[in-house]
């Protein structure tokens, strides 16, 4: 009996040296950091949720860092510098300010750390892959929808993001391009700084100065929600289009409070960001750029979108 038990122990020990241990949360293959915008924005919550899925499937230790203020670079620069010092195997980043992050990205490049951009990239430094929406095309669709809803005439407020950021610039450019196709539309363009409360205040002031306001395009859903709140308080109903298709905006589109929102696919960005980072670490090729797609969501397709028929 003792001899049999001894043999079993020996066999187990031998097999243990021959069979590689499965990758677990305690024994990750790589450490990858993901740097995003503020976590009070559901958009970034979706990005990180899908990044977590990829990390779990690929055996990655994912370090998630957010900024406290959207569109401000200082904190994110420090985060990149810290992750470079920590020696991460790769960095996945949604760049908060396209010029200010250049030196930090270059520092990661110099350290030999792969960098994958999701949602937005810096204007310099090397990115192994950039996974993002074509914001000009997507916001053009939103601006076009607003123009059509008001019959191609009247005043339209464009709520911009924080000036200077590439995303804010591209979304403003696309919306203005669409609205410029209608000579009887007068554009008012003001920043809502990506924030709900700020956008609400801007819309309130705009309505005071322009009680004949005909429509609103908001460069993100957080600002669109602020716009809808201001309109409801003034008992005014005009078409409003947001951008991002966050859950709250989809519910508002479904019940008619919000006319439309331009959907991105943040889950796709988060998942592919981590997957591509692993591929680069392992010496595999990845696409230099990926258009993650967009879709105008309104009352006609919001249910299907919520059901997941259009992907993640």
What is the model's pLDDT at position 1? Answer: 39
Are 139 and 47 in a shared domain? Answer: no
pLDDT above 90: percentage of residues in the chain:
85
Q: State whether 159 and 246 are in the same domain.
A: yes
Residue 253 contacts residue 240 (beta carbons within 8 Å): no
Three-state secondary structure readout of the chain: CHHHHHHHHHHHHHHHHHCCCCCCCCCCCEEEEEEECCCCCHHHHHHHHHHHHHHHHHCEEEEEEECCCCCCCHHHHHHHHHHHHHCCCEEEECCCCCCCCHHHHHHHHHCCCCEEEECCCCCCCCCCEEEECCHHHHHHHHHHHHHHHCCCEEEEEEEECCCCCHHHHHHHHHHHHHHCCCCEEEEEEEECCCCHHHHHHHHHHHHHHCCCEEEEEECCHHHHHHHHHHHHHCCCCCCEEEEECCHHHHHHHHHCCCCEEEECCHHHHHHHHHHHHHHHHCCCCCCCEEECCCEEEECCCHHHHHCCCCCC
Q: How many domains does the chain have?
A: 2
Q: How far apart are CA 246 and CA 250, in angstroms?
A: 6
Looking at residue 311, its pLDDT comes to 79
Q: Which of 37-51, 142-156, 207-221 has the lowest mean pLDDT?
A: 37-51
pLDDT band at 16 (very low <50, low <70, confident <90, very high): very low
Q: Is residue 285 part of a domain?
A: yes
Q: Read off the CATH number of the domain in which 122 is found.
A: 3.40.50.2300
> Residue 251: inside a domain, yes or no?
yes
Q: Which residue's entry shows tokens 């339209």?
A: 156
Q: What is the pLDDT of residues 275-287, one digit of tens each?
A: 999 999 999 999 9
Quick one: 59 and 201 in the same domain? no
- Is 20 contained in some domain? no
- Cα separation, 44 vs 160, in Å, equals 19
Residue ranges making up the domain that contains 144: 135-263
The percent of residues in the chain predicted with pLDDT above 70, rounded, is 92
Helices 266-281 and 42-58 meet at what angle, rounded to 10? 40
| Rg, Å, the chain Cα set | 23
What does the pLDDT read at residue 112? 98
pLDDT of residue 26: 58
| Mean predicted confidence (pLDDT) in 166-180 | 95
Q: What's the pLDDT at 164?
A: 79
Q: Are residues 108 and 142 in the same domain?
A: no
Residues 258 and 270 in one domain: no
66, 41 Cβ separation under 8 angstroms:
no
Structure confidence at residue 11 (pLDDT): 34
Q: Identify whether residues 112 and 161 lie together within a single domain.
A: no
Q: What is the mean pLDDT of the chain?
A: 91
Closest CA to 66 of 45, 39, 42, 90: 39
Task: Specify the higher pLDDT residue, 218 or 4.
Answer: 218
Note whether 114 and 157 are same-domain residues. no
Please list the residues that pair with 34 across neighbouring strands: 64, 92
pLDDT tens column, 243-288? 999 999 999 999 999 999 999 999 999 999 999 999 999 999 999 9
Domain boundary among the residues 226, 243, 263 is at 263
Taking the C-alpha atoms of residue 96 and residue 71, their distance in angstroms, rounded to an integer, is 5
Q: Are residues 122 and 147 in the same domain?
A: no
The C-alpha angle with vertex 282 and arms to 63 and 265, in degrees rounded to 5, equals 55
Tell me if 73 is assigned to some domain. Answer: yes
Q: Is residue 199 part of a domain?
A: yes
Terminal CA-CA length for the chain = 58
In a domain, 69, yes or no: yes
Q: What is the pLDDT of residue 115?
A: 98
- Same domain for 84 and 56: yes
Dist CA 76 CA 291 (whole Å)? 24
Q: Is the dihedral of CA 105, 37, 116, 167 positive or negative?
A: negative
Instruction: Measure CA 13 to chain center.
Output: 48
Within 13 Å of residue 188, how many CA atoms lie on the same side as its CB? Answer: 18
Pair (210, 197) in one structural domain: yes
Structure tokens at 110: 């110099």
Q: Give the pLDDT confidence of 24-80 residue by residue, as tens digits.
A: 445 789 999 999 999 999 899 999 999 999 999 999 999 999 999 988 899 999 999
**Do 104 and 174 fall into the same domain?**
no
User: 306 lies in a domain?
Assistant: no
Q: Are residues 124 and 270 in the same domain?
A: yes
């Amino acid at each position: 009996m003792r001899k049999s038990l001894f043999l079993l122990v020996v066999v187990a020990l031998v097999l243990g040296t021959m069979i590689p241990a499965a990758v677990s949360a305690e024994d990750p293959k790589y450490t990858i950091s993901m740097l995003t915008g503020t976590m009070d924005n559901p958009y970034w919550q979706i990005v990180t949720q899908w990044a977590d899925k990829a990390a779990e499937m690929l055996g990655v230790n994912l370090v998630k860092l957010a900024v406290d203020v959207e569109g401000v670079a200082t904190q994110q620069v420090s985060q990149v510098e810290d992750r470079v010092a920590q020696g991460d195997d790769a960095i996945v980043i949604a760049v908060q300010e396209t010029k200010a992050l250049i030196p930090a990205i270059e520092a990661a490049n110099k350290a030999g750390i792969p960098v994958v951009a999701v949602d937005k990239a810096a204007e310099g430094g090397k990115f192994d892959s950039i996974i993002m929406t074509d914001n000009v095309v997507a916001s053009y669709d939103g601006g076009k929808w607003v123009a059509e809803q008001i019959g191609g005439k009247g005043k339209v407020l464009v709520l911009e993001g924080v000036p200077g950021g590439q995303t804010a610039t591209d979304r403003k450019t696309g919306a203005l391009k669409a609205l410029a196709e209608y000579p009887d539309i007068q554009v008012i363009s003001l920043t809502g700084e990506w924030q709900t409360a700020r956008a609400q205040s801007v819309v309130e002031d705009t309505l005071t100065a322009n009680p004949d306001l005909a429509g609103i395009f908001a460069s993100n859903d957080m600002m669109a929600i602020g716009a809808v709140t201001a309109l409801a308080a003034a008992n005014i109903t005009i078409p409003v289009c947001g951008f991002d298709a966050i859950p709250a905006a989809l519910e508002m589109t479904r019940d008619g409070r919000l006319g439309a929102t331009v959907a991105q696919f943040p889950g796709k960005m988060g998942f592919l960001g981590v997957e591509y980072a692993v591929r680069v670490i392992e010496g595999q090729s990845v696409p230099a750029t990926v258009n993650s797609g967009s879709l105008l969501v309104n009352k006609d397709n919001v249910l299907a979108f919520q059901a997941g028929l259009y992907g993640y």
